[in-house]
Every structure is written in structure tokens, then in C-alpha cells.
Structure 1
Amino acid sequence: MGKHAKPSGKSPYEAPGSMVRARPLPVRSAVRLRRPVDIWHKPALSAVAALAIPDLTLWALGRLDLILYTSAGAMCALYAHGLPYAARARTLAWVVLGMVSSLGIALTAASLITSTALLVVCASLVAAVHKVVCEATRIGPPGNIILTFIAASAFFVPQHPGQVPLHMTLALGAGVLAWLVCMAPALIRPQGPERIVVARALEAAAGLLRTETDTVGGEAAGVPHARHATAVAVNAAWHTLFLVPVRTPARATAWAGLERLLVRAESALGGTGPAIEASAGTEPRDTQFAEAEPRDTRFAEAEPRDTRFAGGEADRLGGWARELRRGRPLPEVALSAAQAEELAGVAAEEPGPRRPGPRRPAPGHPRGVPAVLARLAPGSPLLPIGARVAAGCVLAGWASMAVGVEHPYWAVVTAASIYQANTTLSWQRALQRTLGNLLGLLLYTALLPLMHLGPLAMIALVLACQLGAEAGITRNYWLGSVCVTPMALLLTEFGSPVPATTLIADRWIDTVVGAAVGLACCVLVTNRRAADRIEVALERVAAAEAVAFGLLAAGPATGADEARDIGWARDRLAGCLVELREAVEVAAGEWWQRALPEERIAHAEQRGHRALAGLVRRLSAPALAA
């Protein structure tokens, strides 16, 4: 996460008297390795299984030339592993449908169009659609890149119109297999995804408590980041639980246990967890929401936390997170009377077996298809990103053709892969892609002797590269690209073998050309709507703050209805604060952008987190004994 906005003066990159500012592009942070994502092995093993079964079947049938089409469907197994199984089933079905449709468009174009330049244009437009739709649906990793890789490759595969239905059927069959592989763990741990996301929220809350406990003489620099990370983790966990249907009493009991854990994690944002308040015997002051400026205008604690018991609460939250990850029974969690009223009140509103759970999103917030359409409406900040992708891919493909590459799909894929939310992130991805592909070509060269051992050896190498790609890509994109590159080249070898020297030379030229041209288009086509998104986010935060302060001024919750309203206000405000921070980070990464309203942003975040802490306190205190 980027640094929080500073309230003082102008940006260090803003020229005096200028309304725009330019930022330098980082290098060291682009190649630094991170900790791997906790569930990286799940998409990795799912993809390996989904690839292995059709690959070995085609080998037994002697038709390894069809492996590209089955790989299209099998690669869908990389998606939706962070979603509950009911939502995963729907999402994967849409991914498979999107993959097969994209493949059908590409194969039909390949069978009817002979102009390579025109095929580049078609592939680029499909890549732009992939990017915009994946961002609008917030599908998550691996995003648009897998869809674009398969479709762009298929545009340049020799094809006859009569072959298209068979090849699409193979992709659909492999996609159904991928769906089954991804849904199979539900038979063993049906609550696995929800438990993991709640465990992440508990771990983030424990980290916030420990950060504050370690602070001596004022708020440390890490506290704002820990607070924002906790807000993001808790917000993501609530959204995940909102997707979970509750159809039986047993499931309702399990979901209620997860919600109680999440409410307990959320109490860390209020400065007083249940156990802390019960032990310390403190009560929030009515004057905590006065308009006086806090000592740190980035964020302000509504009231200094009593850290005597924070360490014990952090250990307790961390222990519960470990129990969740291990699949142990849910612990008994103490909540305040107001928190219990909120959960019980919302649960009573929708009796029946198909209600979404004991808690639901605040009304008026679009979900599903309407939410996606709203993100694609005119004026959306996603539209300039789509324009970048289309223009960059077209120019990259044409430039690759100009230097002699016959099938420039890799340049199109490279250009499409580097486009991120802003110029800084796109620059980092271009650097990572170039470095990873160069090292991947060296790895492919080293693997050439093993490829000569036969088709089974090549299949084993593809599966090993797929596993290595997922293991490395969560640490840094360039590390994953080291394995992605030889895997992609191996897949092309099954259909139409090309001399190794020609293949390596073409891929290297495509990588350099695609990254250079794509990045140039990214720099030239700046996202000027990024700052407009901040204005919209500020307005939403202000509206949510007004509701929150109004509820706080009305006094403590006295029943289920009041507790429910406070809960909805808290959810709305937390989501608006997360969206504001995301908008600021996107706009701050544009190399050429008008000056951001940093003081307004800092003040809005300070007031918003103060109000959020107050809402959480209002539901958390007085607390039951832990």
C-alpha cells in the first residue's frame, strides 16, 4: 500500500505555481520480493490438475496438437479461489463462458482474416475488453492476462471454419473439468474460504493492536498503515460473508460464529476491543468527536487506547486466526450487548432458509450486474485504461511486425499485461515483465535437452512450470514470469513446432517491443479522470461521515433497530474510506497529474476514521467478559 496523504503544503513533485506535477518512476521496489500469498498453492494445484487430465488424455489419443484448446479451459482453474463456494461456482461459470467466447471469436477471425495487421487490431480490441471487464467485475488474480494470452495466441493459429466448433467444444469440456476441480474442496472443507478471510481480518487486527502497543510517546509511523490494512481486511471479510447463502440451521450457526469473530476483529478499529474495555473499565467520552485538530492529521484516535491489555487481545485474535486456518471448531466469542442486538436484529428481518446470513449489506449499495454496469458507465476511470490497452497493443503488434516477427501475439500480450491502475504501476509491470521474460527465455534454453525426451517430458515440464509460476508470481510478477515464459513456449511447441533459435529470438523481440511501445502509450495517454475519482470519493466519505456523526450524536444504541443502523453506517463509512484511499493511490501513481487535494484528503480520512472508531466503540462497549 502506498503512503497516506500528507496534510502539509504541496507535493514534493509539484512545481511552484503549477497545477500539475510529475513523479519519478521507481526501480528498486519493482523487483523487490514480497511474502507469498497464503493460499498460492490452491490455484497452483488446481491448475496443475485441470491441465494434467486433458493433456494426458490427448497424449493417449495421439492428438497433442489440440493442447492449446484444452489449456484454454483448464486455465480457468486459476480464478476465484478467494470466494465462498457458492459465489465461486457462479464466478467460474462466467470465467469459462468468457474464455470460450473469446476463443471462439479469435478462432473465427483466424479462419476468415488473412491480414496479420488486421488480426493484431482484433486481438488488441479483445484485450481491451478483457481488461475493462475484469477490472469492472473485480475478478481478482490473475485478472485479464490469462484470457488475453489464450485469445491473442488463437488469433494467429492456422484455422479452418469447420474446425472452430470442435476446438471450442474441447475448451468448454476442459473448462467444465476446471470448474469441478475448483469446487472439489467444498466436499472436505465447505467453509474454507470464509474461514481464511476472517482469519486474515483477525491477523490484521492483531497486527494493529501490537503496532499500537509498541508505540511509545505518540502515534508511530506504522499505525496509519496498520489501521488502513485492518479496515481493508475487515471490509473484504464482510463482503465475502455477504456472498455466503445460509440454507440450514447448522450453516447459520457456523456463519454466526464467523461473524462474531469478525465483529471482534473489527473492534480493534475502535480503539477499545471488548476484552480491553471490560478489563480496563473505561468508557468513551462524549467529547471525543469535537472538531479540534488531532496531533496527527492523517488519522486520529478518537481516544488514546489503553495498551495495558492490548497485547493480550492481540494474542487472542492471533490464536483464533490460527484455529480457523487449521479447521478447528469455532471458539466462543464475547460481544457487547449492542453488537449482539445488531446481529440478532438483522437476522430477524429476513426469516426463511434462503436469507444471505445473519448480516447483510447496507441498502442502496448496488451489487452484481448493476454494480458492474455502474463501473462501466460514461465517465468511468476504467475507460481510459481500456483506451490505453487497445492503442498500446495495436502499436506493439504493428511494431513487432515491422521488425520481422511473423506472429506478433506475444507483443500484444506483453503490452496488455503491463497496463495497471496508473503509470507508476504500469512502469513497474513493464520492468518486471521484461526481466522475467528474459530469464524465462534462458530457462527455456536450458530445458531444451529435456524436451527432446518426448511428449511426456514436455507435459511434465508444462505442469512444473505452471506450479512454479503460481509459487513465484505472488512474491513478484517477474519471478512468476520466469516460469510462465517457458510454459507458454512449450504449449506452442505441441501444435506447430518452430526452430528454437527462431522462437527465442521472436519472443525476445516481442517482449522488448511490447513493453516499450505499451509503456510509451501509457505515458502519453494519462488517466486524467483519476483525480475526478478522488472528488467523487471525497463526496461519498463526507456523506457517510455526516450519517455516522448524526448517529453518534443521538446517543448509544438502545435496541436492535438502532444497532442495525449503526452497523450499516459503519459498513458504509468503512467502504467509502477504503475507496478513497484506493482512488488516492491510483491518482498519486500517474506521472503527470494535476495536484491532489492533499489537505482535504487528510482531513476527510482523519474525520472518517475518527467517526468509524466511534461507531465501532458504540457497538463494542460496554462489552461482555471475554
Structure 2
Amino acid sequence: MPLPAPARPHLAPVRAAAQDVLDPAHLRAALRVSPADATLAAALRCGAAVALALAVPGLLGRPDLAAFASLGALTSLYGRYDPYRRRAALLATVGALMTATIAVFTLLAAAGAPALVTTAAVALLAAGATALCLLLRTGPPGATIVVFAAGAGLAGAPALADLGPRALAGAGGALLAWLVCTAGVLVRPTAPARLAVRRAADAVRTAERPGAAPQAGRAARAAVARARDVLADDASWWRTRSAVPALARELDAVERALDATGAPRTDAAPAARTTLRAQARSRASGPWRLPTARVGVAGVVACAVAVVAGLGHAAWATMGSTAVLQGESARHAVVRALQRGAGTVAGALVAWPLLAAPLGFWGTAAVVVVLQTVTETVVGRHYGVAMLTITPMALLMTSLAHPADPSALALDRALDTVLGAVVGVLAVVLVHPRARRPDAPAAAPLG
């Protein structure tokens, strides 16, 4: 009697990921609303930055550049809870990346680059921006907005003469976002540190509840560590140094309460302020390569399929797969795919009449600002609900630069996004680290 063929060890991760993807619990997770705090101030900052970025080109008689200025202003989505010096450096970095992306992809479009080149370029950008966001730990929205900027650069039929104005508009929007998001340092420079300590206290109270899950203790430890990092940053700056001792004592009391719950401590070096470059170097050996590879592979496939299928705005498919792959687990990817896919389809239906309405430039700008502000208020609570406002906002921004048939634009957004979401989930199932042969020698430890 023949023996069954031995299982292939290199397929084990694929089978495990596929089983995880098919778990029906993901649907319940996709419907769950998460708690969120301190969203209003961040939402108002982003709304103000986008409003100013839209107003300047409108007042200068260049409404066609408003979309690129508002894209630059979306750098206000990053570093929203960081201490002000880190926020300033991060916003400048992301703003430069957004401006360069608009310029490079406008150049590709103006030069008439073939679809193969633009597909590879969008995927490479998605992977590179993902690596950068992971190394710098920017948090949401990660590389997604950068890919959106690439799609804007490719849209329409730009000439070489459009490259300078588009890039300048993007840089101007990023500068306005930088000014708006750092202006609080003049009024309340210790606000990020106070928020971090308060969040640590809230997390510890959650861990202290009877029957709290072990992950509540781990989350509380992470919140305390985050607050230590913010206080270390503030302690090295004259504007905030005087407030650090009182906040540190408050945080010490919070950590003692956490110790009393029995939550295990983690060995960690004392917090110290570091630059963005040093932070990226310290995380270079961390788990950023696999997520980056998944985003790159999924980006190529999603964009190529969209091109072959004749869908407009193929870069949106890469944006969809990139958004789905912002987490590391199959569960996160599936939940994001469900929320982004369903939310975008519903959001496209909302956008359709708005695109068809005779709003004019200023009416469209006002609706975009309102939608952006509402988005930032709800996105932390439920990503799918936020897509109801993200989708019409993005399509209205696109229409400012390139008016198009409303139904075609809404349909392209829905189909590209669903395609990207599906490809993103498949990337989680299929792309895994290469398994080491059983007879291969173990790698020597680093350091």
C-alpha cells in the first residue's frame, strides 16, 4: 500500500493563512466600532490645511491645481499625536515625498510612458513608501496617500509645462499643512505629552478591570512606553522641559498601578530622544521587509490587472491593495478589505450625485473640506464608515483637476478599489518568507 506523500513544508504558511482568511469571525470584526479619542483637534487641523490649500489656487485663478495642493495638504494626516519637533520633521519628510511623487508621475505621464513602466513605477513607489512608513512608524494612513498622489500625477494628459505648477502646488499644500499642524506649539507645546500620559492612564484603567484580557496589559505597557518616549522628547527641549517632571511623576504612578495588575514588564532601554534617521536605523532589522514585499507584489498585480481590464485610474487598484496591507496579519487584511471594499462601493454611490451636481469650484471645495473633517473624526472608530466620506472626497478632488463623467469616475473607483482589496488579501495568503531547508545551517545571531 503506497504511503501518502509527505506534506510540503513550504506550503504550510499558505494553508494557514488561507484558513485564517476564511474565518467567519472577520466579518464580525469588520462590523465592530472601535473606541477613539482626541479626534476632533486632529480633524480640524486637517480640515483647515485642506481648506487653505484649496483656497489659494482658487484665488489665484488656477482651480486646476487645487487637487494637487490639497494632496500636499494631506500630509496633515501624519504625526497627528507626535511631539511637535518630531511632527515637524515627519511632516517635512512626507511633504517632500508627496511633492516628488506628483512631479515624477506627472513627468511619466507627460513623456507618454507605456503602461508597463507606470505599473512598475506605482508598485515600486507603494513598496518604498511602505518601507519608509514602517521604519519611521508613521502609523495611518501609511503609504496609501502617497500612491494616491501618484495616481493624480498620472491622471489627465499633462504636458511638460504642467510639471512645475503641479509640483509647486503640492509643495505649497504641504507647507500649509506643516504650518497648521505645528502652530499649536505656540499655544500649548506640552499637549502631545499630556495626551500620551492620559492615554496611558486610560489603558491602565482598562487593564485593571476584573476579567481584563492579557492583551489589555500589553496594550497598557505599550501606552506607557509611548508616553515615556514623548516625555523624553519634551525633556530635551527648553519650551517643554519645565513640564516634564510633573508629568513623569504622574506617569510613574500610572506604571505602578499597572505593575500591581501583574502585567509583565518588557526589558527596554530608557527612553531618549532620537532623530527620524536614527529611529529608522534602529528599526532596520525589524519586520518591515515582508510587508514591503507584499505591497510591491500586490501593487504590480492589481495595477496590471486594472490596465488589462481597461479600468480607468489603474493606480487606484494599487492604492486599494496598499491600504489593505497596512497591517501584518491576515485578520487585519481581511477586515480592511471588507471595510474598504464595501465602504467604497457605498461611497461611490454617494459621490455620484455630488459629482453630477453643478457645485462649481467653491462649492466643491467646501464639500471636500467638510468631508475631510468628518472623515478624520470617524476613521479611527470605523474604517468602513469613513470610506463613505473618503470616497466622495477623493473623487471630488480628482474632478477639480480633471472633470470626467460622474458615473464613469464613480464606477472606476469602486471597481479598482475592490480589485485592489482582493489582490491585497491574496498577497497575505501567498507571499511568505522563504522557508529554510531543514538541513540548512542556522544563521548566526546578529550583534
Asked whether the two chains share a fold, i.e. TM above 0.5, the reply is yes
* 1:160 counterpart = 2:153: no
* 1:239 counterpart = 2:226: no
Aligned partners of 1:132 and 1:386 also within 8 Å: yes
Q: Residue 85 of structure 1 corresponds to which residue in structure 2?
A: 84
CA pair 514-259 structure 1, distance change in 2 beyond 3 A: same
CA pair 225-508 structure 1, distance change in 2 beyond 3 A: closer
Q: Residue 425 of structure 1 corresponds to which residue in structure 2?
A: 332
What is the total number of aligned residue pairs between the two structures?
A: 422
Deviation by residue 1:357-412 (Cα, 9 ceiling, x = unmatched): xxx9369x9864244134335xx532222221112111111211222224312112
Offset of 1:256 from its aligned partner?
Answer: 0.4
Deviation by residue 1:272-319 (Cα, 9 ceiling, x = unmatched): 8xxxxxxxxxxxxxxxxxxxxxxxxxx7789xxxxxxxxxxxxxxxxx
State the TM-score, normalized to the length of structure 2.
Answer: 0.86
Q: Aligned AA for 1:234? A: V
CA distance in 2, matches of 1:104, 1:94: 16
CA pair 36-45 structure 1, distance change in 2 beyond 3 A: farther
| 1:147-546 correspondence runs (5 A) | 147-209=146-208, 211=209, 214=210, 220=211, 222-248=212-238, 251-271=240-260, 361=270, 368-377=276-285, 381-419=287-325, 420-448=327-355, 451-527=357-433
CA distance in 2, matches of 1:472, 1:62: 33
Offset of 1:508 from its aligned partner?
Answer: 2.2
Q: Aligned AA for 1:421? A: E
Helix, strand or coil for the counterpart of 2:234? coil
CA pair 231-497 structure 1, distance change in 2 beyond 3 A: same
Offset of 1:94 from its aligned partner?
Answer: 1.4
CA distance in 2, matches of 1:406, 1:60: 31
CA distance in 1, matches of 2:300, 2:91: 29
Helix, strand or coil for the counterpart of 1:463? helix
Which 5+ residue runs of structure 2 have no aligned equivalent?
A: 1-10, 436-444
CA pair 268-110 structure 1, distance change in 2 beyond 3 A: same
Aligned partners of 1:208 and 1:268 also within 8 Å: no
Q: Aligned AA for 2:205? A: A
Q: Residue 619 of structure 1 corresponds to which residue in structure 2?
A: none
Q: Aligned AA for 2:218? A: H
Q: Residue 439 of structure 2 corresponds to which residue in structure 1?
A: none
State the TM-score, normalized to the length of structure 1.
Answer: 0.63
Helix, strand or coil for the counterpart of 1:475? coil
Aligned partners of 2:347 and 2:391 also within 8 Å: yes
CA pair 234-168 structure 1, distance change in 2 beyond 3 A: same
Deviation by residue 1:589-614 (Cα, 9 ceiling, x = unmatched): xxxxxxxxxxxxxxxxxxxxxxxxxx
CA pair 454-371 structure 1, distance change in 2 beyond 3 A: closer
Deviation by residue 1:472-517 (Cα, 9 ceiling, x = unmatched): 2111211111111111111111122111122122222212222222
CA distance in 2, matches of 1:89, 1:514: 32
Offset of 1:163 from its aligned partner?
Answer: 2.6
CA distance in 2, matches of 1:300, 1:54: 47
Offset of 1:36 from its aligned partner?
Answer: 4.2
CA distance in 2, matches of 1:484, 1:46: 17
What is the percentage of aligned positions where both structures have the same residue?
A: 30
Deviation by residue 1:94-137 (Cα, 9 ceiling, x = unmatched): 12122212222222222224312321211111011111110111
Q: Residue 48 of structure 1 corresponds to which residue in structure 2?
A: 47
CA distance in 2, matches of 1:112, 1:384: 33
Which 5+ residue runs of structure 1 have no aligned equivalent?
A: 1-17, 215-219, 273-298, 303-359, 530-538, 541-626
CA distance in 2, matches of 1:66, 1:383: 36
Q: Residue 101 of structure 1 corresponds to which residue in structure 2?
A: 100
Aligned partners of 2:101 and 2:153 also within 8 Å: no
